[in-house]
Structure 1
Amino acid sequence: MRYWRQLLIVCAGIAQGAAAQDWPYYRGDQGGSGFSALQQINSDNVSDLQMAWQYRSGEAQEFAEQLPRSAMETTPILLPEAAGGYLVFCTAFNQVIALNPETGVEQWRYNPRISLAGERPFKCRGVAWWSDHKNPADQCAHRILTATHDRRLIALNAKDGSLCKDFGNGGTVKLYSSDEGFVPGDIGSVSPPVIVNDTIVVGSAVVDFVRAHTPRGTIKAFDVRSGAPRWQFEPIPVDAEAANADQWPEDAVAVSGGANAWAPLSVDEARDLVFIPTGAPSPDYYGALRPGDNRYANSLVVLRGSTGEMVWHFQFVHHDVWDYDTPAQPMLIDLRRDGKMIPAVVQLTKQGFVFVFHRETGKPLFPIVETAVSQRSVAGEQLSATQPSSPALPRLMVQQLHAEDAWGLTPLDRGACRKKIAGLHNDGLFTALQEQPTLMMPGSLGGANWGGGVFWPERQQLVVNVNATPFMGYLKPTVREEKGEHIPPAGRTMRISMAGTPYTVVVESLLSPLGIPCSAPPWGKLLAIDLASGEMKWQSPLGSVHQMAPVQLPFDINWGTPNLGGALMTAGKLVFIGATMDRRFRAFSADSGKVLWQHDLPADAVASPMTYRRGGRQYVVIAAGGHHMYQREMGDSLIAFALAEPESEKSSAD
């Protein structure tokens, strides 16, 4: 039995390596590495990269009224020839579109006609593909699975975009019921479903910051052929018999909610494991109604894919009152140590920590310590005495800011920031919001966010894009209801009443009188860590702020911008990334972090890029649709780049 299990694991590794050369999964492979073995485009010729084609979905016109609260965060997948060979992606409004990967010409489109109700932003990060090896002649032997804003799971024929009639109710499974607290627009799906040994697993996105009682983040699993329910996992205890009931009040589901997995999930099919990053319980910034550590929220939860049983778990934030969701896809890697390869999982956090565990057991592969944190809080709050950290690996960002650290372009600017910082309640990382202005470093944007990291197996190199902008906030006794985005738009103040609590949360960027962050740049950066040695390899500013000034400047100022989206790592010694608020797509040297190429885009590329080879050419593709959060120009483009005259591969990797 052990022999066959090991054989399965080896075969899965070979398949994952092959997958990394095409792109059949959201981040290249089921473990979210974001790495491709392709190297036709490399550090020597990337300066010759040109636009190969551009596709526009038409949603900028079709949904013009809703566009300002949407984000085109999609990463396409490339289907094998047997499944049609198309490039398939989802739009912000959940249309699924298949393109010719060499020309960008549309081949088919499916429109689920989603409900536009509710306050959640419209976004869809990707779709999933599944092949039925048992019934290869079936009409829907190759399926595209997509989960929608209005909580439907849909199966499509990968070859023509028609509904798979044998799945659920004519191709659709409803992911909600009224007894689970569903309110249209309050809970939906943004990340792609995953498939582990013919079982679909789906997380959810919940509006968890406007009310104490919100829909709970149930993880649901279905049969990939029939759509029949298989199992579900409740991160919040629904009864006193639950394993985590002692970490919540008796009426947990009545006073709280969330703890949902809105970030992408990962799968290890050979080990029958699904890796689930869970978010904060509701409401984000006040926990007096939900005393206890709130276990399974803010965690990495590892379940058996076939049954849903718990294998192991780890909580990154106890009793979260900072909106420190586990934001990024768990990265399944093989870690080289003492000449051996260890199956590992890497989890990045908003707090700026990198945690690494043995994939099968949950044993930390770098030390984790519980550190005492400030206990000052508003009346009724019961904070955890300690919080976990990973001190053996580099921190992704500075986690503290003091008056002497104030930064500004002029002495007047610096003086104003120094005074602001000195006046803040500031006990370091994990300082809870008070009724007076409090430093938030990092804020709820991170640190790391949903773009996560990318990993080069041969080099053991982890690359991550990071936000490093300080925020300030406080809890204000609620007088009247206020609503807004859960992260403050650039230069504006966010005010959200947390219904069911005494407070409205107020958050804003910590800025100088000139509108510049009070901390030293870079305010967004890209960095590389050698996971074999645990050392920082390089750090580079990510983005130019020239377009974010009140008056756009005619030259770049590379101090880093807020960034959302992820990177792509290739064996061509390149790291491709959009993510920034300057409408640029860049290629960095994986060796040095130096920018080797950049291209202007019609809108910010708040998405993760991907790559593949077709017709002898390697293509790199990125979605450029802008983002509602920063009031940037919006769009609906998918753009492919390639070399004008392709060179021969330098290895036989293809």
Structure 2
Amino acid sequence: MNKYVAIACLLFTHSTVVLADDREWSVFGGNNLHQRHSPLTQITPDNIQNLAPAWQFNTGNKATFQATPIVRSGVMYVSLPFNDVVALSAKSGELIWRYQHDRIESREMCCGPANRGVAVTDDHVFMGTVDGRLIALDVNTGKKAWDKDVTQGDSGIQEDVASLAGGTEGEVSGTSGVGLNMAPMVYNGNVIIGITGVGYGLHLDSPDPDAPLGAVVGIAGKYGRRGFLAAYDVETGEQRWQFDTIPEQGWEGDYLATTPDGELLPRDIEAEKASAEQYADAWRYGGGSAWSTPAIDHDTDTLFFGTGNPSPQMEGSSRPGDNLYTSSLVALDANTGKIKWHFQQVPHDMWGYDVASPPVLFDVHQDGKTVAAVGQAGKTGWFYVINRETGKLLFKSDAYVPQQNLFQPPSEAGTVIYPGVLGGSNWSPVALDAKRRQVYIAGIHWPVNYSLHQLPEKHGKAGLKYSSMAPLDTDERYGLLSAINLDTGNLVWQHKTPNPLLGGVLSTDSGLVFSGEGSGELFALDAASGDKVWSGSSEAGVNAPPISYEVDGKQYIAVVSGGNKLFGYKSGDAIKVWSLP
């Protein structure tokens, strides 16, 4: 018997078994429901002013840092930018081992150097890499156990779309490359992970290297590839199943005129149907990255994960139809990869509204009934609550960020839209407190200008038409950390921050909510009121999800601090940990 299971059998609180593992942080989402809620209560709103730095480890890799640390048996495992991994004493920060990744330099990275975490078992540490590999390390030594090339370096690019750079301002990036950014999930002897970058399209970098992204560009054409989520044997790396996020048959869907929650979409359905034969192979380049670590219902063996935007990004003329299963929450059989249902938040997505924030599992209480639900914080600015068994929408929340011109098309003059391609809520995980009946969401208010462009005629050929979505350089951009009632979807409170929030949230049983800012601040709010009760500082942006764990009876708060280049937040290389004296 596992020693933690044996201990857990002896621990009871209010007749509820408290698993010892919950006092650490053994999986990406903190517990099997992925609620990122810690049962620890040593740090409270009354004593948090005494919270002080416990230890800090500097990795030497100064770059965008997004990882969730995993803590098991007193050891902290952290994946670093460019896929190094460190194992540290969770009590002192002392280095136990370090794996240095032998990246295939010839492969283009799709989405920067960041990795969102590892999965850890009694024997292995698993990690997806920016160069398209799934790697298993020995948990005790960090030595490589096996190395699976998941993508074979295939970006699926079919056209020289980078030629757009000749007619625009700013360097083009994101034109190719497929990687693995999510933290894997281990279930029933399989390690499950998906690929990213397949619907990435083009980014125009800002001339200022310290400034945020210049623009996201959409061009019609045959480039990109379809994404997938797959399961691999934990001992050998052999693939067990694969779910393609774009089906070869039926990817067109039903040509829906609205979103499933009734929002009107600006689609010319007849024109799309008329062009369907011309673009019959659009599924080959269809996109649908798998950005978010799955949540798994252990009672029903159902896996839930979000998919990215279709490819080409934003430009829909060369991909008629609903573009299934992009911009969707998808439910699969966790043991076979067979689809159970999908909920497509935005059919024929033209705004980059990926389902990027990881799903969370909980029960909804309505009309005297309890319904098993899955929730997801959308880039659209709503928290969607879906029946876990049927895939039907139960309700969506109040908007947790301002909304203007949502689902409007681009224009030559430019259409100001918010939320835009940045979200809403981006990849940031939510935290959920089932006792207080609240979910906490890190939100972004950052207006974008959605424009149509025409390049000049060249060598007698008509210039390329394309669309762009550029974040506006305005003082009206900020973050909102929102508390939303789980049973009604109503806003309970909001806390405004100077910087758009990107990273994630942690809640604790003592009534605290933690999140970080690009300015370098980790802050704590009172869960009841949303009032700020503490803040700690870092030299770089705190743009990763915080965690809490216990070692030898002491509670710690930990977060990685390395900023985010896409948002213009300062880079760094720190793993920072706080505790009470």
Question: Which bin holds the TM-score, normalised by the shorter protein?
Answer: 0.7 to 0.9
Count of residues in correspondence between the two structures = 504
- Please say if residues 543 and 561 of structure 2, whose CA atoms lie closer than 8 Å, have aligned partners that are also in contact: yes
Match of 2:108 in 1: 118
Give the 5 Å matches for 1:363-512.
363-366=392-395, 390=396, 393-400=397-404, 428-479=405-456, 502-511=464-473
Comparing 327-336 with 316-325, greater Cα deviation is found at 327-336
Match of 1:27 in 2: 29
- Whether 1:530 aligns to 2:560 is no
Q: What's the offset of the Cα at 1:501?
A: 10
Give the 5 Å matches for 1:184-263.
186-206=177-197, 208-210=200-202, 212=221, 213-238=223-248, 240=249, 242=250, 249-254=279-284, 256-263=285-292
Q: Secondary structure at the match of 2:566?
A: helix
Q: Secondary structure at the match of 2:121?
A: strand
- Whether 1:565 aligns to 2:565 is no
TM-score, normalised to structure 2, is 0.82
- Please say if residues 196 and 273 of structure 1, whose CA atoms lie closer than 8 Å, have aligned partners that are also in contact: no
Match of 1:44 in 2: 46
Q: Secondary structure at the match of 2:83?
A: coil
Cα–Cα, structure 1 residues 306 and 162, in superposed 2: closer, same or farther, change >3 Å?
Answer: same
- Please say if residues 431 and 439 of structure 1, whose CA atoms lie closer than 8 Å, have aligned partners that are also in contact: no
- Whether 1:316 aligns to 2:345 is yes
- Please say if residues 244 and 296 of structure 1, whose CA atoms lie closer than 8 Å, have aligned partners that are also in contact: no
Cα–Cα, structure 1 residues 317 and 466, in superposed 2: closer, same or farther, change >3 Å?
Answer: same
Comparing 184-193 with 321-330, greater Cα deviation is found at 184-193
Q: Secondary structure at the match of 2:49?
A: helix
User: Which letter maps to 1:629?
Assistant: L
Match of 1:516 in 2: 475
Q: What's the offset of the Cα at 1:538?
A: 0.7
Cα–Cα, structure 1 residues 600 and 178, in superposed 2: closer, same or farther, change >3 Å?
Answer: closer
- Please say if residues 93 and 124 of structure 1, whose CA atoms lie closer than 8 Å, have aligned partners that are also in contact: yes
- Please say if residues 609 and 621 of structure 1, whose CA atoms lie closer than 8 Å, have aligned partners that are also in contact: yes
TM-score, normalised to structure 1, is 0.73
Cα–Cα, structure 1 residues 193 and 317, in superposed 2: closer, same or farther, change >3 Å?
Answer: same
- Please say if residues 195 and 267 of structure 1, whose CA atoms lie closer than 8 Å, have aligned partners that are also in contact: no
Cα–Cα, structure 1 residues 180 and 51, in superposed 2: closer, same or farther, change >3 Å?
Answer: closer
User: Which letter maps to 1:39?
Assistant: T
Q: What's the offset of the Cα at 1:480?
A: 10
| Pairwise CA RMSD | 2.4
Q: Could you tell me how far apart the structure 2 residues matched to 1:145 and 1:440 are?
A: 39
- Whether 1:577 aligns to 2:477 is no
Q: What's the offset of the Cα at 1:341?
A: 3.7
- Whether 1:172 aligns to 2:165 is no
Q: Could you tell me how far apart the structure 1 residues matched to 2:463 and 2:371 are?
A: 46
Q: What's the offset of the Cα at 1:465?
A: 1.2
Higher strand share: 2
User: Which letter maps to 1:173?
Assistant: K
Cα–Cα, structure 1 residues 282 and 185, in superposed 2: closer, same or farther, change >3 Å?
Answer: closer
Q: Could you tell me how far apart the structure 1 residues matched to 2:157 and 2:75 are?
A: 35
Q: What's the offset of the Cα at 1:199?
A: 2.0
Q: Could you tell me how far apart the structure 1 residues matched to 2:128 and 2:81 are?
A: 12
TM-superposition CA deviations, 1:2-48 (whole Å, max 9, x none): xxxxxxxxxxxx88965433210112023321100001001110010
Q: Could you tell me how far apart the structure 1 residues matched to 2:134 and 2:443 are?
A: 32
TM-superposition CA deviations, 1:153-174 (whole Å, max 9, x none): 111111221222xxxxxx1111
- Please say if residues 304 and 310 of structure 1, whose CA atoms lie closer than 8 Å, have aligned partners that are also in contact: yes
Q: Secondary structure at the match of 1:343?
A: strand
Q: Could you tell me how far apart the structure 1 residues matched to 2:283 and 2:251 are?
A: 15
User: Which letter maps to 1:583?
Assistant: G
Comparing 149-158 with 526-535, greater Cα deviation is found at 526-535
Q: Could you tell me how far apart the structure 2 residues matched to 1:468 and 1:38 are?
A: 32
Q: What's the offset of the Cα at 1:339?
A: 4.8
Cα–Cα, structure 1 residues 41 and 32, in superposed 2: closer, same or farther, change >3 Å?
Answer: same
Match of 1:88 in 2: 77
Q: What's the offset of the Cα at 1:177?
A: 3.4
Q: Could you tell me how far apart the structure 2 residues matched to 1:447 and 1:531 are?
A: 18
Q: What's the offset of the Cα at 1:630?
A: 3.7
User: Which letter maps to 2:188?
Assistant: N
Q: What's the offset of the Cα at 1:246?
A: 7.0
- Unaligned runs of at least 5 residues, structure 2: 1-15, 159-174, 203-218, 256-275
Match of 1:376 in 2: none
- Please say if residues 329 and 452 of structure 1, whose CA atoms lie closer than 8 Å, have aligned partners that are also in contact: yes
User: Which letter maps to 1:615?
Assistant: D
User: Which letter maps to 2:442?
Assistant: N
Q: Could you tell me how far apart the structure 1 residues matched to 2:99 and 2:415 are?
A: 47
Q: Secondary structure at the match of 2:442?
A: strand
Q: What's the offset of the Cα at 1:221?
A: 1.6
Q: Could you tell me how far apart the structure 1 residues matched to 2:116 and 2:443 are?
A: 19
Q: What's the offset of the Cα at 1:532?
A: 2.5
Instruction: Choose from 49, 73, 78 the match for 2:71.
Output: 78
Q: Secondary structure at the match of 2:283?
A: helix
Q: Could you tell me how far apart the structure 2 residues matched to 1:629 and 1:449 are?
A: 12
Match of 1:100 in 2: 89
Match of 2:377 in 1: 348
TM-superposition CA deviations, 1:526-549 (whole Å, max 9, x none): 11011124321111112xxxxxxx
TM-superposition CA deviations, 1:589-613 (whole Å, max 9, x none): 0010000001121111110000100
Instruction: Choose from 51, 54, 57 the match for 1:55.
Output: 57
Match of 2:579 in 1: 642
Q: What's the offset of the Cα at 1:179?
A: 6.9
Q: What's the offset of the Cα at 1:87?
A: 0.3
Q: Secondary structure at the match of 1:564?
A: coil
Cα–Cα, structure 1 residues 232 and 594, in superposed 2: closer, same or farther, change >3 Å?
Answer: same
User: Which letter maps to 1:574?
Assistant: L
Q: Could you tell me how far apart the structure 1 residues matched to 2:19 and 2:465 are?
A: 50
Match of 1:369 in 2: none
User: Which letter maps to 1:510?
Assistant: L
Cα–Cα, structure 1 residues 501 and 275, in superposed 2: closer, same or farther, change >3 Å?
Answer: farther
User: Which letter maps to 2:156?
Assistant: G
Q: Could you tell me how far apart the structure 1 residues matched to 2:417 and 2:403 are?
A: 9
Q: Secondary structure at the match of 2:393?
A: coil
Match of 1:135 in 2: none
Q: Could you tell me how far apart the structure 1 residues matched to 2:306 and 2:567 are?
A: 26
Match of 2:134 in 1: 153
